[in-house]
Structure 1
Amino acid sequence: MAVREFLTGMPWWVKWIAIPLIALVVFGGVIGTVMSVLIGLLFKVLVFVVLVGGLIYVVRKFMSSSSSSGDW
């Protein structure tokens, strides 16, 4: 018996409300953990990009000011 045949006789609210709600309750912890890991990874990537951008800005600023003064 296929899932489609099983769901054919069910009302619409079972297919579209009850089953997703049960899946959310059963797998909610897993979904929350995965979302937490993805958000944490995205935050770390954002911090990395900001730090590298800041480093590049500081190095360019230093290089431009040192080349114009002629101390090196």
Structure 2
Amino acid sequence: MSTDRPDTFNELGHTSPIMSGATTANTAHERFRAAHVVAAQSRDAADCALLLAMLGLTAAEGLPASRR
């Protein structure tokens, strides 16, 4: 298997896109869905806000485009 870049392994032996220098651009839909998952799994509003901030998301990204 040939690649343009060498794989970078984390301490568990798995490749990591962040460690290997790969970048990912999340689409608005992916960010929308992620915000929904965070909101659904949060204990309360403060927990939700903290988790969204950790992921670099905002509460507005969980709203439909027509309500932003």
Higher helix share: 1
Greater Rg, structure 1 or structure 2?
Answer: 1
Q: TM-score, normalization: structure 1?
A: 0.28
Bigger relative CO (Cα 8 Å, ≥ 6 apart): 2
